[in-house]
């Protein structure tokens, strides 16, 4: 029963949504609209569930003093601080439990939550993302070696796109006459991106689309049951 | 490639650091041309009638700010110049703050703008594609209130807005999913609204197939270059144009190191052959 009821719900909802795409009239159109609203409500709860899960996972790691447990403590403390500040004084123009906190906001220039967001969180995220530039540079240096015909093709197109996507492309080939416009690096880069890359991407997208249809049907028909948990 | 011949990657890191830092401090102002995709976005906004309403979705967070924020600023500026009223929303939780920050940056240039009349921020809603689909059926069911708790029926900008058919165009600033793909699939494909957007450079190849003859996407701003090109078209130089010099320097350093890596590889290969003989 524990498995049959969820399977039945999945089957019914899946079939209603598929039919509503082809017959968007009563009762299917109306039903799919209702189900969409249910989905939005459940999505809201999923965020709450995610936060509870984050709390539980981190508490357990700290409790059993797992490797680098100190970092998990920092995560938890940061989480609690942000949630508390948001609850107490709100964010942006929305008030919290203690109102807008005018006194503290005039001192910081922002509400406490927004102050931490703008001055800490924003910069931490930007720093993490910026570090990628160093690793991409290192990876490109090691990976783009012309060992075979294919790797030579990859290497040549990577260099052309890299040049064409910067101001260097215009600088290096800007002097070419109109008749040789097709050799202009930004044009070459645009050609590579528009034709070979897009063709490859379309193939991937069609493949992925077919895959999604297949796995969705498996879930609706109850063949794929891993989402129910257990064995 | 023999390990002994490899350059210590810390040299590469150091060069990248200086290569990015110097052009940001001392702007070089290297030339830049506009491409067709960016021109299409510009034309879409430029040809919108005065008083139209557009929906801009901020589907990114601070990690993608260097690329997407200059784009957002240029697009919002262009819309305000053309008297287009803007409805902001976000499919990413942090997108709400991103939209607020753009307004904060532009408030001195447009002191007469009124919240609720010229623009509104509806805030974040979880659900991704389903949220967009529901917005297409009824805005008010998904966003009964704006992010400040105002009833949207009381906001003049929302008067007559019931679904996508009352929107001039949709623009998504996207750093992943949910984002521009979902907007294309629902706002354009299901409801036929002109849809456009801006994405990070790394995700551009996956989105480019939507810029096609059916105009699923009306143009696309790809990465910092797209933002810089838009700033040029708008004749409003900003952080994207200055950032392009830094990006160019970084690309040049990477290309030089790729060449060094290949030269080393071929030299090693030759030496191995000679040794073999």
Residues A78, A113 within the same domain: yes
Q: Is a pLDDT exceeding 70 seen at residue B5?
A: no
Residue of A nearest to B253 (CA): A137
Instruction: Confirm whether A169 is domain-assigned.
Output: yes
Helices (H) and strands (E) in chain B — how many of each?
10, 6
- Alpha-helical runs (H) found in B107-157: 129-137, 139-142
Residue of A nearest to B212 (CA): A194
Domain end marker among A49, A66, A83: A66
Nearest partner of B238 among B69, B52, B97, B22, judged by Cα:
B69
Structural fold of domain B36-237: Rossmann fold (3.40.50)
Residue with more model confidence, B185 or A1: B185
Confidence of residue B196 (pLDDT cuts 50, 70, 90): very high
Residues A6, A75 within the same domain: no
Domain end marker among A16, A45, A66: A66
Cβ of A40 within 8 Å of Cβ of B131? The answer is yes
Task: Output the pLDDT for position A89.
Answer: 93
Is residue A146 within a helix (H) or strand (E), and if so which, with residue range?
none
Range of the structural domain that residue A210 is part of: 144-225
Out of A91, A118, A202, whose CB is closest to B209?
A202
Mean pLDDT value across residues A136-150: 88
Mean pLDDT value across residues B146-171: 92
Whether residue A133 lies within 8 A of chain B, CB to CB, comes out as yes
Cβ of B262 within 8 Å of Cβ of A147? The answer is no
**Shortest Cα distance, chain A CAs vs residue B144, angstroms:** 13
pLDDT averaged over chain A? 90
**DSSP-assigned letters across all residues of B57-78:** EEE--GGGHHHHHHHHHHHHHH
Q: How far apart are CA A221 and CA A152, in angstroms?
A: 47
B196 beta partners: B171
E-only strand ranges, chain B: 53-59, 85-90, 119-124, 169-174, 195-199, 221-222
B173 beta partners: B58, B198
Mean pLDDT value across residues B2-19: 79
Residue with more model confidence, B149 or B199: B199
- Provide the b/e sequence for A108-119 (b: ≥16 CB within 10 Å): eebbbbbbbbbe
**Shortest Cα distance, chain A CAs vs residue B80, angstroms:** 22
Whether residue A144 lies within 8 A of chain B, CB to CB, comes out as yes
Which residue's entry shows tokens 């989480």? A79
Q: What is the pTM of this model?
A: 0.88
- Chains A and B form CB pairs within 8 A to the count of 155
Residues A136, A74 within the same domain: yes
Domain end marker among A22, A38, A66: A66
Q: Which two tokens stand for residue B248?
A: 């160019």
**CB–CB of B98/B90 below 8 Å?**
yes
List chain B domain ranges: 3-25+247-276, 36-237
Mean pLDDT value across residues A12-27: 90
* Lowest model confidence (mean pLDDT) among A190-199, A203-212, A222-231: A222-231
Give how far Cα A135 sits from Cα of A131, A142, B9, B117, Å. 7, 11, 9, 46
Q: Which of B126, B143, B175, B191 to mutate to test the interface with A (most CBs of A within 10 A)?
A: B126
Q: How far apart are CA B126 and CA B134, in angstroms?
A: 12
Q: Which of B101, B133, B261 to mutate to test the interface with A (most CBs of A within 10 A)?
A: B261
Task: Output the pLDDT for position A141.
Answer: 85
Instruction: Confirm whether A10 is domain-assigned.
Output: yes
The answer to whether the peptide bond before residue B13 is cis (omega within 30 degrees of 0) is no
Q: How far apart are CA B246 and CA B251, in angstroms?
A: 9
Whether residue A227 lies within 8 A of chain B, CB to CB, comes out as no
Cβ of A155 within 8 Å of Cβ of B262? The answer is yes
pLDDT tens for A208-226 read 999 999 999 999 999 998 8
Q: How far apart are CA B215 and CA B195, in angstroms?
A: 8
pLDDT tens for A57-81 read 999 999 999 999 999 999 999 999 9
Mean pLDDT value across residues B148-164: 91
Instruction: Confirm whether A231 is domain-assigned.
Output: no
Whether residue A142 lies within 8 A of chain B, CB to CB, comes out as yes
Prediction ipTM score:
0.82
Residues 6+ apart with CB under 8 A from B210: B180, B181, B184, B216, B217, B220
Instruction: Confirm whether A47 is domain-assigned.
Output: yes
Confidence of residue A182 (pLDDT cuts 50, 70, 90): confident
pLDDT tens for B213-272 read 899 999 999 999 999 999 999 999 888 988 898 989 999 999 999 999 899 899 988 888
Whether residue A163 lies within 8 A of chain B, CB to CB, comes out as yes
**Shortest Cα distance, chain B CAs vs residue A66, angstroms:** 29
pLDDT tens for B59-74 read 999 999 989 999 999 9
Cβ of A145 within 8 Å of Cβ of B255? The answer is no
Number of domains in chain A: 3
Nearest partner of A186 among B197, B237, B232, judged by Cα:
B232
Whether residue A98 lies within 8 A of chain B, CB to CB, comes out as no
Angle of the B223-234 helix axis to the B239-276 helix axis, nearest 10: 140
Residues A101, A89 within the same domain: yes
Q: Which two tokens stand for residue B263?
A: 């030269």
Cβ of B63 within 8 Å of Cβ of A125? The answer is yes
**Shortest Cα distance, chain B CAs vs residue A65, angstroms:** 31
Chain A partners within 8 Å of B128 (Cβ): 43
């Amino acid at each position: 029963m524990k498995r049959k009821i969820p399977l039945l719900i999945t089957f019914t909802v899946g079939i209603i949504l598929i039919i509503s795409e082809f017959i968007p009239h009563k009762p299917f159109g109306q039903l799919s609209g209702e189900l969409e609203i249910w989905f939005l409500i459940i999505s809201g709860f999923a965020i709450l569930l995610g936060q509870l899960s984050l709390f539980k996972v981190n508490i357990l790691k700290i409790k059993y003093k797992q490797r680098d447990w100190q970092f998990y403590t920092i995560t938890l403390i940061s989480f609690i601080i942000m949630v508390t500040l948001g609850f107490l004084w709100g964010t942006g123009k929305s008030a919290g439990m203690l109102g807008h906190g005018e006194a503290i906001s005039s001192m910081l220039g922002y509400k406490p939550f927004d102050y931490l967001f703008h001055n800490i969180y924003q910069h931490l995220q930007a720093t993490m993302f910026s570090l990628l530039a160093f690793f991409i540079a290192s990876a490109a240096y090691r990976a783009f070696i012309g060992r075979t015909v294919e790797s030579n093709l990859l290497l040549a197109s990577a260099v052309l796109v890299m040049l064409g996507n910067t101001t260097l492309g215009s600088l290096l080939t800007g002097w070419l006459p109109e008749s040789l416009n097709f050799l202009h690096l930004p044009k070459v880069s645009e050609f590579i991106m528009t034709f070979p890359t897009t063709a490859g991407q379309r193939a991937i997208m069609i493949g992925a689309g077919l895959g999604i249809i297949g796995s969705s049907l498996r879930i609706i028909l109850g063949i794929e049951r891993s989402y129910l948990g257990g064995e | 490639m023999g390990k002994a011949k490899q350059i210590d990657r810390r040299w590469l890191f150091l060069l990248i650091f200086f290569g990015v830092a110097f052009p940001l401090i001392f702007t070089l102002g290297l030339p830049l041309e506009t491409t067709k995709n960016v021109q299409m976005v510009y034309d879409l906004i430029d040809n919108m009638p005065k008083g139209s309403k557009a929906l801009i979705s901020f589907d990114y967070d601070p990690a993608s700010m260097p690329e997407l924020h200059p784009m957002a600023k240029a697009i919002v500026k262009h819309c305000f110049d053309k008297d287009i009223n803007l409805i902001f929303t976000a499919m990413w939780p942090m997108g709400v703050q991103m939209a607020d920050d753009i307004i904060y940056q532009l408030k001195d240039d447009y002191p007469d703008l009124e919240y609720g009349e010229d623009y509104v921020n509806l805030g974040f809603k979880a659900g991704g594609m389903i949220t967009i689909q529901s917005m297409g059926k009824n805005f008010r069911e998904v966003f009964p209130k704006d992010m400040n708790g105002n009833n949207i029926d009381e906001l003049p900008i929302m008067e007559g807005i019931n679904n996508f058919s009352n929107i001039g165009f949709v623009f998504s600033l996207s750093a992943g999913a949910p984002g521009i793909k979902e907007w294309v699939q629902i706002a354009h494909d299901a409801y036929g609204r002109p849809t456009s957007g801006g994405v990070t450079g790394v995700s551009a190849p996956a989105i480019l197939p939507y810029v096609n003859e059916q105009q699923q996407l009306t143009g696309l701003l790809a990465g910092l270059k797209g933002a810089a090109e838009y700033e040029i078209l708008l004749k409003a130089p900003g952080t994207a144009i200055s950032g392009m010099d830094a990006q160019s320097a970084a690309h040049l350093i990477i290309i030089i190191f790729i060449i060094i890596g290949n030269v080393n590889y071929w030299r090693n290969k030759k030496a191995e052959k000679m040794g073999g003989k």
